[in-house]
Chain A
Amino acid sequence: MSAPNQIVPGETSSFESWRTLLKDAVKEVFSMMVGAEVTVLETEPAVQTADVTGMVGLAGALCGVMSVRCTRNSANKIASQMLSVPISEAASHQSDAIGEICNMVAGNFKAKIDGMQDKCMLSVPTVITGEDYQLHSLAAGDRIEQAFVFDTETLWIALEIRN
């Protein structure tokens, strides 16, 4: 069995270890930068609506896409708490905030994997608003997705790994 922070692409135990690292990475980012605790949602959420999606590409030893999906309401709350401004003043910052959260989750996640910091580069974030879209990857791969509860709403973090 590999150590929790070693990479063995395609190995189930590695993915489960990565899921743990991903949970830790997300909790730390929200605690330090949003001033909020997120709760891991172990059961599948009933309704999966999300209209703000932040994405950061990973290239190098770990190749894929990290994404953060949440409702516009959650994105506003996240921006509001990051900036310490009322929600009414945060709407124009929601995309920027979700992009930066995604960037920090990706960076924090790769920092938790031995030797990955210098072998994996991150792209600048991209943010999509709207929920009527489908994402297609040109390469086959694996996917780790984890739901969290932020405030009272569900937020999804996913790592698409290209083999």
Chain B
Amino acid sequence: MASIRALIVDDSSVMRKIVERCLRQAGMDLGQVQEASNGAEALALVNGNQFDLILSDINMPVMDGLEFVRHLQEIESAKNTPVVMITTEGGEKHVMEALSLGAKGYIRKPFTPDQVKEHVIPILRS
């Protein structure tokens, strides 16, 4: 698998580091990994960079993850970038909304490294 440019969006710096570690444990060759603490910061990064994978929380201050994904679809260079939501909000309503907005996957916190691998690898391969 080629080197992956990833963007991890979560208001918790601890969670961002855990997600990155899970991706590495999944055997991914991570190249550039950038972090954002909310959707607005993430949008700014997306406008200046190309990513192969975005993992985003939902509950965040300033701009939440669903709003971020909604805005992402308006950016021509980013709208096809696969987005996986990683969140405590695991209800059907949230899952359906995220998927309808363009997210490709959904992981509920708490999670194991294997769960991250199981959700993310097939999305990157498709």
How many whole Å from A4's CB to the nearest CB in chain B?
A: 19
Chain A: CB-nearest residue to B17: A83
Provide the A99-111 mask, 1 if CB < 8 A to any CB of B, else 0: 1100110111001
State whether A122 and B59 are in contact (beta carbons under 8 Å apart), knowing that A33-B110, A107-B89 are contacts in the complex: yes
Asked if residues B13 and A124 are in contact (CB atoms below 8 Å), the reply is no
Asked if residues A107 and B14 are in contact (CB atoms below 8 Å), the reply is no
- Interface bracket on B: 20 to 34
Stretch of B27-35, B40-48, B69-77, B90-98 on the interface side: B90-98
B-side contacts of A33, CB under 8 Å = 18, 109-111
Asked if residues B15 and A100 are in contact (CB atoms below 8 Å), the reply is yes
B-side contacts of A28, CB under 8 Å = 110
Asked if residues B60 and A118 are in contact (CB atoms below 8 Å), the reply is no
- Chain A: residues with CB nearer than 8 A to chain B? 28-29, 32-33, 79, 82-84, 93, 96-97, 99-100, 103-104, 106-108, 111, 117-118, 121-124
Apart from A100-B15, A103-B88, A117-B93, what 5 extra A-B contacts exist at CB < 8 Å?
Answer: A28-B110, A83-B18, A100-B14, A123-B59, A124-B59
Task: Supply 9 A–B pairs (Cβ within 8 Å), ascending by A.
Answer: A28-B110, A83-B17, A84-B21, A96-B13, A104-B109, A104-B110, A106-B88, A108-B88, A121-B89
